[in-house]
Amino acid sequence: MIPVNTPRLNGNEKKYLDECITSGWISSEGPFVKKFEVAMAQLTNQKFGVAVTNGTDALELAVRVIGVGEGDEIILPSFCIISCAQAIIQNGAKPVLVDVDPETWNMDTNKVAEKITDRTKAIMVVHTYGMPVDMDPIIDLANDNDLFIIEDAAEAHGQTYHGDPCGGFGEVSTFSFYPNKHITTGEGGMVLSFDREVDEQLRYYRNLCFQPNKRFVHEDLGYNMRMTNLQAALGLAQTEQIEATIERKREIGNRYREAFANLDCFELPVKEKPYAENVYWVFGMVVKDSAPFTREEICNHLAEKAIGTRPFFWGMHEQPVFKKMGLFKNEKYPVTERISRNGFYIPLGLGLSDEDQETVIEVVRGFVNS
């Protein structure tokens, strides 16, 4: 089987894990947690990082600390993972959707202004599949309307926008460290900020709202979202290799682009825009409506050949759970609907060998040309 993702653990991961085991520091109190938080803050030009249990929890904390209230609205793309909308809803706010750009699959920045109301609290940008959101228009809108920016950079480790690191644009920015991410801790996440008070609030809520001098007396309800020293040790070692990681991901992604360039049945990931070059978190492919086959048919064929695939995200406005809540009634987002139904991605993990990539290419081309 050629899986969609295989992580690469060929740096200081074993050395740092051995240190954890030898020292006995395996809990969230260990020194690697702080080291990892500092390393991620430096990577993103933020001042503070707070390590948490996963990217979903990072988003929930990020929304909470900007102070949303009942009736507040947060604008986000209709095409994203459910964690983004879920974090908004669970904090008592209302998600407001915009469609995405057909080329980058990111939030269509031209459609954001029309969704701003006097109840809008923030814009949640989500960097999708390796390309960043065009941030300048979002920053201008946020400044003009006194809005927060929540930046979900879960798929943009090591990516930049006009040379500045993703994860550094939000009042609060979030990362996920799931095994398919450029930096992994197995499971894990982080919230980054440049405001000390925000950082203190994040740490407070992350740790059950314990108080320094009255540890088991609680003024608020928080969460147990602590990352372990073992996980942070992995993350620190992975962060040390981020430049090599991006180089390898681009090498694999561009090789796919060249191999599939003459296949008219697919829309391929954009290679670059004036503000960024793709880092190919995944290599997405959208089956064109004119193609003589469906997404299901090619994915089934790849599965028969022991090649893993995954479908694209499903649009937020079409999620059954949100329909049950009465959200997004009669809303249509045509780009999201098309790519959600026709998009899939193929193996592009750091552990993918050249030989396995060539197999994937041959099988895809063979199916299309059969």
| Predicted local confidence at residue 69, as pLDDT | 87
> Per-residue pLDDT averaged across 206-233, rounded?
96
Query: What token pair was written down for 277?
Result: 């070059």
Residues 29-75 have pLDDT tens digits of: 999 999 999 999 999 999 999 999 999 999 999 999 999 989 999 99
Rounded CA-CA distance 74/299 in Å is 35
- Which amino acid, one-letter code, is at 251? E
Query: Is 62 within 8 Å of 198 (Cβ atoms)?
Result: no
CA distance linking residue 172 with residue 169, whole number of Å: 8
Nearest to 205 by CA among 62, 73, 74, 85: 62
Q: How far apart are the first and last CA of the chain?
A: 22
Please state the rounded mean pLDDT for residues 312-319: 98
**Helix ranges (DSSP H) in 45-178:** 55-65, 82-90, 135-145
Cα three-residue angle 180-301-365, rounded to 5 degrees = 85
| 338 C-beta neighbours (distance < 10 Å), count | 18
- Cβ neighbourhood burial of 312 (10 Å; 0-12, 13-18, 19+): buried
- Single-letter code of the amino acid located at 82: I
pTM assigned to the model: 0.96
Q: Which amino acid is at 147?
A: L
Asked if residues 194 and 47 have their Cβ atoms less than 8 Å apart, the reply is yes
In the numeric block, the tokens 């946020």 are attached to 142
User: What residues contact 262, with CB distance under 8 A and at least 6 apart?
Assistant: none
Question: In this structure, what are the phi and psi dihedrals at residue 23, rounded to the nearest 5 degrees?
Answer: -80, -20
Q: What is the pLDDT of residues 286-312, one digit of tens each?
A: 999 999 999 999 999 999 999 999 999
Average pLDDT, integer, range 91-100: 98
Cα torsion 270, 272, 276, 278: sign: positive
CA distances from residue 255 to 35, 61, 261 in whole angstroms, order as listed:
35, 38, 10
Percent of the chain with pLDDT over 90: 98
Sequence letter at residue 46: Q
Model confidence band, residue 184 (pLDDT cutoffs 50, 70, 90)? very high
What number is the average pLDDT over the span 220-244? 98
In tens, the pLDDT along 253-281 reads 999 999 999 999 999 999 999 999 999 99
Taking Cα atoms as reference points, which of 333, 298, 301 lies closest to residue 317? 333
- CA pair distance 137, 143, nearest whole angstrom: 10
Rounded to 5 degrees, φ, ψ at 74 are: -130, 125
Alpha-carbon radius of gyration of the chain: 21
Mind listing the domains of the chain with CATH numbers? 13-239 (3.40.640.10), 242-368 (3.90.1150.10)
pLDDT surpassing 90 at residue 331: yes
Averaged pLDDT, 335-362: 98
User: Quick check: 335 pLDDT over 90?
Assistant: yes
In the block, which residue shows the tokens 């199916």?
367
What is the C-alpha separation between 219 and 209, in angstroms, rounded?
7
